[in-house]
Structure 1
């Protein structure tokens, strides 16, 4: 596939994500895809996941643990077998009620027309702070966690 075709596949993947279409995302991935982000003891969808079942696990964990209130892919850069995307999101953690902002970069690597590797880089401190249970202290309504 060309760089432009890879970029269009990523755009389709983000549309599937916004629609909650996990199967559509899995269809864009290689059978042995590696889906990674920085590991956090508090964030249930962090770390490494392998294969289409791993994609299902990470996205199911994400949808069960947060409410995504904003998700914007802003810039797409495609070259060779890679597509990098810069964006931002805002989410509320269901268990704590805390909201956090996340500026992120996603890097997709393609092999034989499928995503073989997905790497997420973002504000891990803000996410961990929002997920981390606090005793007796609750974020004030409208307050957003930032690092």
Structure 2
């Protein structure tokens, strides 16, 4: 299963690196446990999501809210259906011009069909929330 998990995530990050967010969204199961914890009252793209449509909305809100500069994956560790991606991101908030620069981890689970069923991104949510504030 680790190989299937790794293959799914390799394809997910490949699609993301080319800007294919529709293709990346297709790699999620119909029912997913997605979360990016933080100040959901300030940052519209973070928070829990449960469906592919919710995830598609995330990418739309993210594109409206910030300009992506870097999203570097340093390492992916897989153990059966579970995986963790470790990396660093940098973006500029469109409304304020402030830069977010944060390390992150993403916890994944991949089912037997090679679809992502869990996505938990942990970043410096305090920094993100403050960057959104004027």
- TM-score scaled by length of structure 1: 0.85
Which residue does 1:26 correspond to in 2?
25
Offset of residue 80 of structure 1: 1.2
Question: Hey, which bits of structure 1, 4+ residues long, moved more than 3 A?
Answer: none
Distance in structure 2 (CA, Å) of the matches to 1:19 and 1:72: 13
Matches within 5 A, 1:1-147: 2-40=1-39, 41-112=41-112, 113-133=114-134
Aligned counterparts of 1:57 and 1:118: Cα–Cα separation in 2: 15
Whether contact under 8 Å (1:35, 1:54) holds in the other structure is no
Number of equivalent positions: 132
Please, which runs of 5 or more residues in structure 2 have no aligned partner?
none
Partner SS state of residue 56, structure 2: helix
**Aligned counterparts of 2:21 and 2:74: Cα–Cα separation in 1:** 22
**Aligned to 1:50, what secondary structure does the other structure show?**
coil
Quote how far apart the aligned CAs of 1:13 are. 0.8
Q: Which runs of 5 or more residues in structure 1 are unaligned?
A: 134-147
RMSD of equivalent CA atoms: 1.1
Change in Cα spacing, 1:7 to 1:84, as seen in structure 2 (3 Å) is same
Higher RCO structure (Cα 8 Å, ≥6 apart): 2
- Do the aligned residues in 1 keep the contact of 2:38 with 2:129 (CA within 8 Å)? no
**Shift, 1:83, TM fit:** 1.0
CA distance in 2, matches of 1:28, 1:72: 20
**CA deviation after TM superposition for structure 1 residue 18, in Å:** 2.1
3-state SS in 2 of match to 1:96 = coil
Deviation at 1:26, TM superposition (A): 1.7
